[in-house]
A and B are shown apart, each in its own frame.
Chain A
Amino acid sequence: MIRAMAGLIALLFVLGLLTGGAGFGWPDPAIILELRLPRTLLALLIGGGLGLSGAVLQGALRNPLADAGLLGIAGCAGLGAVVTFYWGISEAFAPALPLGGMIGAAIGCAALVLAAGRAPSGPSLILAGVAVSAIAASLLAVALTLAPNPYALAEITFWLMGGLDDRSLLHLALAAPPIIAGAAVLLRTGPGLDALALGEEVAASLGRPVGATLRATSLGVALAVGAGAAVAGGIGFVGLIVPHLLRPLLGERPAALLPAATLAGAALLLAADLAARALPLLLPLAEEPRLGVITALLGAPLLIRIALRSAP
């Protein structure tokens, strides 16, 4: 299973290096190095971070609807990145961009943990997340409109729908370390997530109190999703879909899903980014569709299916 996914990722990675705006084929090495390699590696890292974050959030909140996008964490990350980017902070100090994203994501996580403390795993948690998400999206639009920037409308769609076009090696260097650190934190939450399956009291009696698990989850998600959203905008649904795709294959034990969710998230975002690049070659499109549009088109029908299946 893991080996098959690794093979799929390798295949998508090579296809990613060979596909570009000019068509399919082996271009100038400079194009590979400057454009396609950072873009493909970013899709791999960000997708892996999103898939893993989704699996950990669903386990920690014991809610199959939990996802960094749906809960507003990604929106807060985008807002943080926009503030540092359009007020020139990241121009003076490049690492401010992922830092802004991570701080935004951390604020989103904190809001969520506060809500979870009052109503753990219930529908009100998702409602709170949707509200945080809406606030973040509105503030992001306000921030972009107020910023000294003539392309505000185009930029709003980028930050809300995400994209990896024109990302450089600098973006890769900024985003990779926090995403990898976040993934390392998240991959270690497995035992805490398993213990939480039986409720907070049993988790505490097993020596895995819920507070420690939620803190590690918040830290890891803030790093992985925050840094990802800072360079690629808000890419929704990857974290939501991936655990649902894997449960029929691997069972429902939360810890058992984590490594596979990382790989599946990476494969999914690589494939979505490949589709975004290939579609203008196949269809008469003026420009690439946004990455978040493609993941939403994949994810929304699945969300409907989950909703219908869990209905009484």
Chain B
Amino acid sequence: MIELRSAALRLGDRTILHDIDLRIQPGECVAICGPNGAGKSTLLRALAGLLPGTPPRDPRRCAYVPQGARSAWGITVGELAMLGRLPHGDRAQPPVDRALDLCGIAPLRDTRIDRISGGQARRAMLARAFATDPAMFLLDEPTADLDPAAQHAIMALLSATARAGSGVVLVVHALDLATRYASRMLVIDAGQVLADTTPEAALPIAARCFGLPLGRDPMPRLLPP
């Protein structure tokens, strides 16, 4: 379980997060949604214990993947995934192999991270988190840069991971993905939690928050596999 109690954060004279009380249980897949600049990434950082005043997390039990997918050096996908073993202080190969398989990038193991596409790099960053074998995943937009099929594949993987007993918290912009795969949805705006409930119940609040009408789309569209 991961807990965040009365977290508040101010940067200068701007309040980024207001008093937030959150508790995330194993088995939950929690989607954080909200407009740009609402404080989604900041909330995720607070959950990861990376902001001043937030409790530090055990790096073996909590894996954090930020929004950017960049490495300072041209390391290989396999080496990148192996970084997930740093908290354990070993270089165990089986969890790394499993992580690369799960994220569908095992064939790219020996390819440099700066020679693959943005979507593939995103999967490699996710594989790094899986290699840690954590109890809690904190992921900032894990489906950005991915094509529609890959978006569904990764969301299905995360949802299955949660059902298998891990906690998964992800920032996600695509509300249709969030409602389809998450078990719980947090709508935040201006650093405040507006909704913390099931995706179905949260959707009207999200719609209000974005200023968009809620309804059924008569346009033909791609469906999940």
What is A's interface to B at a CB cutoff of 8 Å?
59, 62, 121, 191, 194-199, 201-202, 204-208, 251-254
Nearest-neighbor residue (CB-CB) of A62 within chain B:
B72
Chain A residues contacting B165 (CB-CB under 8 Å) are none
Contact of B75 among A62, A197, A199, A204 (CB under 8 A): A197
Chain B residues contacting A196 (CB-CB under 8 Å) are 72
Chain B residues contacting A207 (CB-CB under 8 Å) are 59-60, 86-87
Q: Is the CB of A199 within 8 A of B73?
A: no
Chain B residues contacting A198 (CB-CB under 8 Å) are 70-72, 80, 83, 125, 128
Q: Is the CB of A202 within 8 A of B64?
A: yes
A202 to B62, CA, bound (A): 11
Q: Is the CB of A195 within 8 A of B79?
A: no
Q: Is the CB of B71 within 8 A of A205?
A: no
Chain A residues contacting B148 (CB-CB under 8 Å) are none
Nearest-neighbor residue (CB-CB) of A254 within chain B:
B73
Q: Please indicate which of the listed interface residues B60, B63, B72, B86 has the most CB atoms of chain A within 10 Å of its own CB.
A: B72
Chain A residues contacting B65 (CB-CB under 8 Å) are 202
A109 to B70, CA, bound (A): 27
A204 to B74, CA, bound (A): 21
Contact of B66 among A59, A121, A199 (CB under 8 A): A199
B contact residues, range = 20 to 34
Q: Mark B148-173, 1 if CB is under 8 A from A, else 0.
A: 00000000000000000000000000
**B29 on the A face (CB < 8 A):** no
Q: Is the CB of B73 within 8 A of A253?
A: yes
Q: Mark B77-111, 1 if CB is under 8 A from A, else 0.
A: 00110011011010000000000000000000000
Chain B residues contacting A197 (CB-CB under 8 Å) are 71-73, 75, 83
A207-B86, A254-B73 are known; give 20 further A-B pairs, CB within 8 A: A121-B72, A191-B89, A194-B83, A195-B83, A197-B71, A197-B72, A197-B75, A198-B71, A198-B80, A198-B83, A198-B128, A199-B70, A201-B50, A201-B64, A201-B66, A202-B65, A205-B63, A251-B74, A253-B73, A253-B75
Q: Is the CB of A199 within 8 A of B68?
A: yes
Contact of B62 among A195, A205, A254 (CB under 8 A): A205
Contact of A206 among B49, B71, B86 (CB under 8 A): B86
Chain A residues contacting B57 (CB-CB under 8 Å) are 205
Shortest CB distance B96–A (Å):
14
Q: Please indicate which of the listed interface residues A194, A197, A199 has the most CB atoms of chain B within 10 Å of its own CB.
A: A197
A121 to B70, CA, bound (A): 14
Shortest CB distance A214–B (Å):
15
Q: Is the CB of A205 within 8 A of B64?
A: yes
A251 to B74, CA, bound (A): 8
Chain A residues contacting B70 (CB-CB under 8 Å) are 198-199
Q: Mark B120-150, 1 if CB is under 8 A from A, else 0.
A: 0000010010000000000000000000000
Shortest CB distance A192–B (Å):
9
Q: Please indicate which of the listed interface residues A196, A202, A251 has the most CB atoms of chain B within 10 Å of its own CB.
A: A202
Using A199-B66, A205-B64 as known contacts, say yes or no to A194 and B45 having CB atoms under 8 A apart.
Answer: no
A206 to B70, CA, bound (A): 16
Using A195-B83, A197-B83, A207-B86 as known contacts, say yes or no to A202 and B75 having CB atoms under 8 A apart.
Answer: no
A206 to B64, CA, bound (A): 8
Chain A residues contacting B89 (CB-CB under 8 Å) are 191
Chain B residues contacting A251 (CB-CB under 8 Å) are 74-76, 79
Chain A residues contacting B75 (CB-CB under 8 Å) are 197, 251-253
Q: Is the CB of A195 within 8 A of B74?
A: no
Kindly identify, within residues 14 to 65 of chain B, every residue whose CB is under 8 Å from any CB belonging to chain A: 45, 48-50, 57, 59-60, 62-65
Shortest CB distance B54–A (Å):
11
Using A191-B86, A197-B83, A251-B79 as known contacts, say yes or no to A205 and B73 having CB atoms under 8 A apart.
Answer: no
Q: Is the CB of B79 within 8 A of A253?
A: yes
Shortest CB distance B210–A (Å):
28
Q: Is the CB of A205 within 8 A of B72?
A: no
Q: Is the CB of A208 within 8 A of B86?
A: yes
10 sampled A-B residue pairs with Cβ under 8 A: A59-B73, A198-B70, A202-B65, A205-B49, A205-B62, A205-B64, A206-B86, A207-B87, A252-B73, A252-B74
